């Protein structure tokens, strides 16, 4: 099923509002989800709506949260989300970080007590659109074996980065610290597809291609990914006074309770370090030089981070965004949710 960007946004917003979100919150969540599907990151788009709707309907998200923003220094702040929907709170945190970085050069904003916040690339791009450089990272519930270990300890713990150029291009780097994000496995499941044998292991610790036989994910690049996911857990969890590692709350175990997740935004104003115009021009030159390289066998060109997502968005603008039929049928139905997620394990089983 193919739908326009605007139709998809409205369908998701309507469903989330029916589940109990305020119009403002439903708008914020749908904006982030549409961003993901529009870029072809379907693991963080409409496939998530039913889960969010069930958690909202069962009281696991505060529908009228009282946000508390506190500046703890000239360039540091904390935003308590009061267990509000993560996308809305994380966006507010990034808005505050951009504002502070414009004034003081650098901003570090810790966002606490939120639910899942979706694709991090959305938030860092908001900063790049205002000529800022940004990093964002967040913790997640344990589903990854540590390098050399056999049982899940850390989450997929993603990191995103964005920087502006002097043209319409934005460098956007958004990655899980696993070989692949759990959402990609979820997307494969929704389509009845297998996964590469490098993504995950089964209960015996063996590589698996069965998307429904996943016991745990594995770190990207072995010990390097393991170190990165630990770093993210520390910076977006322990540093903010939140639970760490295996103590991070489950996404599915109890949908009636809040999750207490953390996210950290770091925004840098290039004007405090160099000439902004020259900086942006240099990054454009960098991308142009990469494009001039002869592509390796099997490649048509050298892409910069975020470029393929932009290309998919342009194609979707012409042809419509491709959505799994079952997900579309759910979005247009009168059902808020089908009671599928509460009480499930880390892989919604």
Looking at the DSSP assignment, which residues form a beta bridge with residue 254? none
Band (pLDDT 50/70/90 cuts) for residue 204 is confident
The whole-number pLDDT of residue 305 equals: 97
Question: Percent of the chain at pLDDT above 70?
Answer: 100
> In the chain, where are the structural domains located?
2-274+309-332
Environment class of 347 (CB within 10 Å of its CB; exposed 0-12, middle 13-18, buried 19+): buried
Task: Give the range among 140-154, 159-173, 288-302, 319-333 with minimum mean pLDDT.
Answer: 140-154
pTM to 2 decimal places? 0.94
Instruction: Kindly state the tokens that stand for 338.
Output: 């089908």
Answer for the pair 2, 319: CB distance below 8 angstroms, yes or no: yes
How far apart are alpha carbons 194 and 211 in whole angstroms?
A: 5
Say whether 38 is catalytic. no
pLDDT in tens, 123-178: 999 999 999 999 999 999 999 999 988 889 999 999 999 999 999 999 999 999 99
* Topology annotation, domain 2-274+309-332: Ribosomal Protein S8; Chain: A, domain 1 (3.30.1370)
Reduced to 3 states, what is the DSSP secondary structure of residue 58?
A: coil
DSSP state of 67: -
Alpha-carbon gap, residue 261 to 13, rounded angstroms: 23
How far, in Å, CA of 37 to CA of 158, rounded? 18
- Rg of the chain on CA atoms, in Å: 20
| Across 61-83, average pLDDT | 97
- From the candidates 42, 44, 116, 337, which is the catalytic residue? 116
Structure tokens at 266: 């770091």
pLDDT tops 80 at residue 347: no
Q: How many CB atoms lie within 10 A of CB 73?
A: 9
Task: Inform me whether the pLDDT recorded for 336 exceeds 90.
Answer: yes
pLDDT digits (tens, 9 = 90+) for 214-225: 889 999 999 999
User: What are the C-alpha distances in Å from 318 to residues 5, 35, 220, 250?
Assistant: 10, 16, 34, 39
């Amino acid at each position: 099923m193919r739908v326009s960007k605007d139709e998809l946004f409205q369908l998701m917003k309507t469903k989330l509002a029916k589940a109990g979100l305020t119009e403002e919150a439903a708008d914020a969540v749908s904006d982030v989800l549409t961003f993901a599907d529009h870029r072809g990151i379907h693991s963080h788009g409409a496939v998530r709506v039913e889960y969010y709707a069930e958690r909202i309907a069962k009281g696991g998200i505060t529908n009228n949260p009282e946000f508390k923003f506190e500046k703890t220094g000239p360039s540091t702040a904390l935003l308590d989300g009061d267990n509000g929907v993560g996308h809305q709170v994380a966006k507010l945190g990034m808005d505050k970080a951009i504002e502070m970085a414009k004034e003081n050069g650098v901003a570090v904003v810790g966002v606490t007590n939120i639910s899942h916040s979706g694709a991090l690339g959305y938030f860092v791009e908001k900063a790049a659109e205002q000529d800022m450089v940004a990093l964002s990272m967040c913790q997640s519930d344990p589903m990854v074996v540590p390098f050399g270990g056999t049982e899940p300890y850390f989450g997929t713990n993603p990191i995103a980065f964005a920087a502006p150029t002097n043209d319409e291009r934005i460098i956007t780097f958004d990655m899980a610290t696993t070989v692949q994000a759990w959402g990609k496995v979820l997307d494969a499941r929704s389509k009845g597809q297998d996964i590469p044998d490098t993504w995950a292991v089964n209960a015996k610790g063996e590589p698996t291609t069965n998307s429904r036989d996943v016991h745990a994910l594995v770190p990207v690049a072995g010990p390097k990914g393991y170190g990165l996911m630990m770093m993210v857990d520390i910076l977006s969890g322990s540093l903010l006074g939140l639970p760490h590692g295996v103590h991070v709350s489950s996404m599915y175990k109890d949908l009636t309770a809040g999750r207490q997740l953390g996210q950290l935004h770091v925004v840098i104003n290039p004007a405090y370090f160099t000439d902004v115009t020259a900086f942006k021009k240099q990054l454009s030159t960098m991308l142009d030089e990469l494009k001039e390289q002869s592509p390796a066998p099997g490649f048509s060109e050298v892409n910069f981070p975020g470029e393929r997502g932009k290309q998919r968005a342009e194609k979707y603008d012409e042809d419509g965004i491709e959505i799994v039929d079952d997900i579309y049928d759910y979005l247009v139905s009168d059902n808020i949710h089908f009671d599928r997620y509460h009480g499930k394990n880390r892989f919604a089983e």
